[in-house]
Amino acid sequence: MARYNQRQAGDPLGLFTAAAASRPEFQIGYSAGRYLLFCFMGSSAAPGWAEAMRCLTERRAVFDDRFASFFGITIDRQTDRSRATIPDMMPGIRFLIDADYSASRANGAVPVDATPDNAPAVPYRRFWMLVDPMLRVIATLPFAGPDGGAGAALDLLAAQPPLERFTGIAQQAPILYLPRVFEPALCDELIARYRQHGGVVSGFMRAVDGKTVGAHDPAFKSRRDWVIEDAPTIDMVKNRILRRVVPEIAKAHMFTATRMERYLVACYDAAENGHFAPHRDNTTPGTAHRRFAVSVNLNDDFDGGAVSFPEFGPQGYRAPKGGAVVFACALLHKVSPVTAGARYAFLPFLYDESAARVREANLHTVENAGALPEGLDPQRRIGSSGS
C-alpha cells in the first residue's frame, strides 16, 4: 500500500526546492513571513484547473507578497515546462516545476517513494494547502467542485488575521536582546579601524552541486566587511562575547558555545542601499555547523537597518550602541535597508564542539575554504578549552 506524507493542521510544511521562472532553484523556506497558499495541481492540463485559475485571477489582489503568496506545484514537464500555460503573475502568483517530485513527496501529493520514473502508475493527489507565516499548516482542502476548490481556499485565506497577530497574539521572536555587550570606547575603536582599512564587498554562501560556494548579488545583500586579524583585538572581542553573551545563551537555550566563527566588522551603508534579504545562516554544507548568530551594533546614528524575523511578525530590532541581538542561525531573518548614515556591526557565529565536528566533516564541500573568514582554525576557541 502506498504511503504518503500527509500534512495536517499544525504540521510543518515539507520544505523543498523547485524550479521557478525567476530562478532554477527556488527555496520555499525563504518565503516564510506571510501566508502561503499552495495548489498541488499536478498539471495545468488536469480537469478543473482552468476554472481554478480563473477564480485565482479574479481574486488575485490578496496575493501581494506581503500578506500572502500563491504557489502552484506542477510535475508536468511536457505541458508546463514552457510556462506558457502557467505564467507567473507578479506580485504574488508563481508556479514551480517539481521536476524530481521532491515537493510533491514531502507534502503528500505522491507517495514517499514516487519518482518521475515510477509515479505515472500512481494517481496525483490534488489539493490546496494554506500555511501560516511560520510555515505551519493551517488546513488542507480538496481539489474538487466546479472551481476545483479555489473559492473555498481563497475564503479561508481571506479569513486569516493580520500578520502581526497570526497566532492570535502579537508575536515575540525567540531572540536575546542584550545591551552592554561592548563598551562605547570599543565600539568607536572598531569603527575607526574599519574606516582605516576599508571594507570589501560581502557575499553569501550557496549550495551548488553539493559544494558551498560564495556568491554576490547586490539585490539580495549589500554590505562591506573588514576582517579583524590582529590577536589583541580578537582577544578583546572574544572576551566580551564569552563573558556577556555565552552565559545568556546557556541560560535561555541550554547551549554552551565554545567556538566563534568570524571576527569581522560589517557596514551597511545607505549610500549603497545597505541591506540583507531574508535568509538563514546554516543552509549549506559549509555553514551547517553554525548555531547562534550575534549582531552587535557599534553605533546608533543611522536610520533603518533593523533586524527582523519574518516567521514571527514584522517587528524589527535595533540594539543600542554596544548591544546585541542574538538568535538561532536556523531562524529566517533579514536586515532592512539603511536609509540614512551607515550601520556598523560586529557579526560572529557561535557553535560548540559537536558542531565543530560537523564543520570538519563538511569542509571538503567548501569551495576555496582557505579564504573563508576566521573560524576555520580549530584552535580558535572562546571557552576554557583554549584560545
The pLDDT, as a whole number, for residue 121 is 65
Q: Model confidence at 376, in pLDDT bands (50, 70, 90)? A: very low
39 CB neighbour count, 10 Å cutoff: 25
Q: Is the predicted pLDDT of residue 378 greater than 60, yes or no?
A: no
The whole-number average pLDDT for the span 84-107 is 92
Give me the residue label for grid cell 551603508. 269
Contact 69, 56 (CB under 8 A): no
What Å distances lie between residue 310 and 32, 66, 225, 323, CA to CA? 6, 10, 25, 21
Distance CA 375, CA 367 (A): 16
Residue 379 confidence (pLDDT): 43
Q: What is the pLDDT of residues 17-29, one digit of tens each?
A: 998 988 888 999 9
Q: Residue 380's pLDDT is what?
A: 56
- Which pLDDT score, from 0 to 100, does residue 237 have? 96
What 3-state class would DSSP assign to 187?
A: helix
Q: Cell 555587550 appears where?
A: 181
What burial class does residue 104 get, using C-beta atoms within 10 Å of its C-beta: 0-12 exposed, 13-18 middle, 19+ buried? buried
* Cα–Cα nearest to 321, from 304, 341, 336, 343: 343
Would you call the peptide bond into 184 cis, given omega within 30 degrees of 0 as the criterion? no
Could you tell me the pTM of the whole model?
0.86
Q: Read off the pLDDT of each residue in 47-73 and give the average, rounded to a whole number.
A: 95
Size of the chain in residues:
387
Distance from C-alpha of 158 to C-alpha of 320, rounded to nearest angstrom? 38
| Average pLDDT of the segment spanning 1-18 | 91
Domains and CATH numbers, the chain: 17-165 (3.40.30.10), 176-371 (2.60.120.620)
Question: Model confidence over 261-292: pLDDT tens digits?
Answer: 999 999 999 999 999 999 999 999 999 999 99
Q: Which three cell numbers stand for residue 281?
A: 545562516
Environment class of residue 50 by beta-carbon count within 10 Å: exposed (0-12), middle (13-18) or buried (19+)?
Answer: middle
Of 202, 185, 181, 182, nearest in space to 193 by CA: 185
pLDDT tens-digit map of 193-219: 999 999 999 988 777 766 677 788 899
Share of the chain above pLDDT 70, in %: 93
Compute the mean pLDDT over every residue in the chain, rounded to the nearest whole number.
Answer: 91
Cα 301 from chain centroid? 28
